[in-house]
Structure 1
Amino acid sequence: MELAYYADYAVRLVNSEEPLRGTDALTSADAVRELAGAGTQAGSRVADADVPRLRGVRTRLRGVFEAADEGDEVRAVDLLNQLMLEYPVSPQISGHDHLHEDTGRPLWHMHLAEQAPTAGAVFAASACMGLAVQLTSLGVDRLGICEATPCRNAYVDTSTNRSRRYCSDRCATRANVAAYRARKRLENERSARSGLTQDAAQAAQEPAPATER
């Protein structure tokens, strides 16, 4: 598994809460287990105490994405560095799950060992490290917050032209439809005002009716 893959852990953790909608999916050990992956070592070690721990990490990771989205690179990096100090990783070289299709030999790659004391700490460490890898390889400006109101989901922009503005195709479509409707509404209002102005001008140019004597 590539280290950059772990950035998705950070995105999924942050997006487990939608502040403007008042929803929170991270409410139980089962929710943490689903987030970590039921088939993983961390998933099998989940306890109730991991819920508040990951909620706290989630709030701080959202701060990283928001700082990056606002263009405050130094703050984004500082916040992420603080998290990585609290949740250090144990990198290892692994090849057990990647074999060369022709030779059958291992394709060696970096892997994060799950050696933290709790499942929540394992997930937090992996999420922070993955986000750090993407941040340093792609740039801080690749971390963003969805522009489709009321969505405030986080995302990592991996597009070639740095053009991503929304967390999903669904949000992009909704935002485009809303923008189109707003443009049409403005055009209709302008047309209506223009019609009223033309009617008024025409009325002013018409001669007044003759007064009967």
Structure 2
Amino acid sequence: MDTARRTVALINVLCEQRGVGADAVKAVGEVLVEYGELEPLGLGEGDLEELRAAALLLREVFAASDVDSAAAVLNGLLGGVQGRLRLTSHEGAVGWHPHLDSDDEAPWGEWFLASSVLALTVLLWDRQAPPGGLCASPSCPHVYLAHGSGPERRYCSRRCATRERVAAHRRARGGAHSEEARSGGAHSEGARSDGRA
């Protein structure tokens, strides 16, 4: 599940950080370290383009409308993976874990795509449902992981959900206020609250 969470965090930061400058490298590097990558990362501006390309491919899994569509996207991505499934500990530096990229020192983009496809494939297999979705807020480009049972999730965060609820409430109230203004209001002449004309 940590790999899937890292996938979401990287897709989201790569979608936010459009450039390839030092700030973008730093933001992506912080996510990698947060999810267990060892420093020094050796991450450069050229790596961001590969990572961003992988993020856009992975985003299609989250955009899938149903489990069959998500599986089709994952199967397509699995078909393009360059390595064979293997276990590695990076010469004892970390615990044993699976890799699907071509080499333990594969380029960042290849590693990100392969490890993420593997994690999302396992989630789909385990839950028999899409691994997540796109935030329903029109102003948010983020993806999110589904949490399994419970009501279907639509937003990447409580913040987005709250912002959209408040906006919907304001639109509804604005419509009510507009209707009231068109009809002359509840307390217009001839419709006084005390019943007198």
Q: Answer yes or no: same fold by TM over 0.5.
A: yes
- Counterpart among 6, 11, 15 of residue 8 in structure 2: 11
TM-score, normalised on structure 1? 0.67
Give the CA deviation at 1:173: 1.1
**Higher relative contact order by CA 8 Å / sep ≥ 6: 1 or 2?**
1
- Counterpart among 50, 54, 63 of residue 53 in structure 1: 50
Cα deviations by residue, 1:127-170 (Å, 9 ceiling, x for unpaired): 11111122222233452111112112111110531331110111
The gaps in structure 1 that reach 5 residues or longer are 98-108, 203-213
Match of 1:133 in 2: 122
Match of 2:69 in 1: 75
- Counterpart among 26, 41, 44 of residue 41 in structure 2: 44
- Counterpart among 127, 150, 170 of residue 181 in structure 1: 170
Cα deviations by residue, 1:30-54 (Å, 9 ceiling, x for unpaired): 4443332286258635354422211
Match of 2:161 in 1: 172
**Do 2:20 and 2:45's aligned partners in 1 also have CA atoms closer than 8 Å?**
no
Give the CA deviation at 1:185: 1.0
Match of 1:207 in 2: none
**Do 2:3 and 2:119's aligned partners in 1 also have CA atoms closer than 8 Å?**
yes
Q: Given the superposition, is the C-alpha separation of residues 121 and 26 from structure 1 closer, same or farther in structure 2, using an over 3 Å criterion? A: farther
Give the CA deviation at 1:124: 2.2
Give the CA deviation at 1:8: 1.4
Give the CA deviation at 1:6: 0.9
TM-score, normalised on structure 2? 0.71
